[in-house]
């Protein structure tokens, strides 16, 4: 468990440094950010933006899995299964919480 936490912290630090280096591009007309959309692919590295039990924002990194989500979950809210790198669990995560860090392709 201890080695998994160290690995998670290293990956998080590397990704945060990578994100800082990437500059956002603005369009000249309306100064809005350019947002590209695509379907989620198995193996995409994502950042899950969530809230902890106290209501404070928290985030963790994970990989998109190809395991199907239950039908009951899909009727309630669209979600994907994400393998959490911090604790090694497969969790259903709503789509609005996901942010793409690195593409699988």
Could you tell me the pLDDT band of residue 84, with boundaries at 50, 70 and 90? very high
Residue 82, pLDDT above cutoff 90: yes
What six digits make up the tokens of 104? 């699988």
pLDDT in tens, 50-75: 888 888 998 999 999 988 787 776 77
| Environment class of 24 (CB within 10 Å of its CB; exposed 0-12, middle 13-18, buried 19+) | exposed
* pLDDT digits 0-9 by tens, 6-21: 777 777 777 776 665 5
* 99 against 26, higher pLDDT: 99
Please indicate whether residue 73 or residue 49 has the higher confidence score (pLDDT).
49
Q: Would you state the pLDDT for residue 31?
A: 54
- The residues, any chain, with a CB within 8 Å of residue 29's CB and separated by 6 or more, are none
Residue 25 scores a pLDDT above 60: no
Residue 63 in contact with residue 83, Cβ under 8 Å? yes
């Amino acid at each position: 468990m201890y080695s998994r936490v160290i690995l998670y912290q290293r990956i998080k630090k590397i990704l945060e440094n990578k994100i800082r280096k990437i500059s956002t591009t603005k369009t000249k007309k309306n100064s809005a950010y350019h947002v590209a959309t695509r379907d989620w692919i198995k193996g995409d590295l994502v950042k899950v933006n969530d809230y902890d039990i106290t209501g404070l924002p928290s985030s963790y990194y994970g990989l998109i899995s190809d395991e199907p989500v239950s039908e009951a979950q899909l009727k309630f809210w669209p979600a994907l299964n994400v393998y959490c790198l911090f604790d090694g669990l497969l969790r259903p995560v709503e789509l609005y919480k996901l942010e793409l860090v690195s593409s699988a392709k």
